[in-house]
Amino acid sequence: MEGITLRDATLSDVPAISDIHNQGIEDRVATLDVEFHTLAEQEEWFHRHGRRYPVIVADQAAEIVGWASLNPFSSRAAYRFVADLSVYFERRWRGRGLGSLLL
């Protein structure tokens, strides 16, 4: 997609990530969460990620329009090589084919 940059997320991106995640909850799309996340909760979530479980953002003209993350699937040893994937978009950007880009 033209004009979209993918990059590693930073702590300064967490407010936008949180807003987009909460939109998914509010709109009842793409999430099993039913309660909004606070910024503090989302920051804690972000700090649990790293090289093994990265968080990336889709940036368009300095606006975060979507994000994706790998997340531990289970703490059980047999699942140590398994991750689940989260992909979220700001509601105005849904349905534009960006999911393929983040995947």
Q: If pLDDT is split at 50, 70 and 90, which confidence band does 1 have? A: low
Domain locations along the chain = 4-102
List pLDDT tens digits, range 21-50: 999 999 887 677 888 999 999 999 999 998
Question: How many other C-beta atoms can be found within 10 angstroms of the C-beta atom of residue 35?
Answer: 8
* 8-state DSSP, 81: T
DSSP string, 30-44: S----SPPPHHHHHH
What gap in Å lies between CA 8 and CA 67, rounded to an integer? 10
Strand pairing partners for 72?
83
Better-predicted residue by pLDDT, 30 or 80? 80
User: HSE-up of 57 (CA within 13 Å, CB side)?
Assistant: 22
Kindly tell me if the per-residue pLDDT of 98 is higher than 90: no
What fold does the segment set 4-102 form as a domain? Aminopeptidase (3.40.630)
For the residues 53-71, what does the mean pLDDT come to?
Answer: 95
> How many Å apart are CA 72 and CA 81, to the nearest integer?
9
**What pTM does this model have?**
0.90
| pLDDT value of position 32 | 78
